[in-house]
Amino acid sequence: MTVLHPRTSATLADLRKARWFSFVGVPDAESAIVLESWEEAIGFCSMDDWQDLLLEAANQYCERLVERDEERFQKWNDLVAEIKSITIPLVKEKTVEVAAANELPQIFIDTVQWDILHVCMEAEFADIFPPGFYASQAYWYVKGHFPCGWAGDFPEGTLIIY
């Protein structure tokens, strides 16, 4: 068992304290498009373009890690397994009520799980390459929103949240 970096533990503590999804639909963001319903949010998060962007962001981060410290990157899969043992129960705890109350599909939980896992992976490797895309996703979860899409050609354009 690997000991997580203190910044990863701190990230998890911040996520654990936050009230996820408590401000969905509230138009309190000037830097993002705010949707008005779970139906819209699920529609956006289910789009291939969004899922592709999430995967590409993770792949780009991994590429930067390999370029800077290939030996340390070799620990990626072990860390993923360990961090998942923490994030899967956390995501379940944070999504169970909202998913049940709004009859949200599995893609919702899968997307949240992917985001939170990669938030932690960025924190774990931040000394090699600074957190970026997923740290910005975490910001919206902590603010009570659900980041779920992108309008425009990334990186130009605007984040879509609910």
Query: pLDDT digits over 18-69, tens only?
Result: 999 999 999 999 999 999 999 999 999 999 999 999 999 999 999 999 999 9
DSSP 100-117: HHHT--HHHHHHHHHHHH
Q: Would you state the structure tokens that stand for residue 3, as one six-digit string?
A: 């000991």
State residue 3's pLDDT score. Answer: 82
Do the strands 147-151 and 158-161 form a parallel or antiparallel pair, or are they unpaired? Answer: antiparallel
Q: Would you state the structure tokens that stand for residue 127, as one six-digit string?
A: 């000394």
Q: Is the pLDDT of residue 115 over 70?
A: yes
pLDDT band at 9 (very low <50, low <70, confident <90, very high): very high
State residue 1's pLDDT score. Answer: 61
State residue 138's pLDDT score. Answer: 97
pLDDT band at 148 (very low <50, low <70, confident <90, very high): very high
Flag whether the pTM goes above 0.75. Answer: yes
What is the average pLDDT score of the chain?
97
Query: pLDDT digits over 24-37, tens only?
Result: 999 999 999 999 99
Q: How far apart are CA 150 and CA 159, in angstroms?
A: 5
Query: With pLDDT > 90 as the criterion, what percentage of the chain qualifies?
Result: 98
Q: How far apart are CA 146 and CA 129, in angstroms?
A: 25
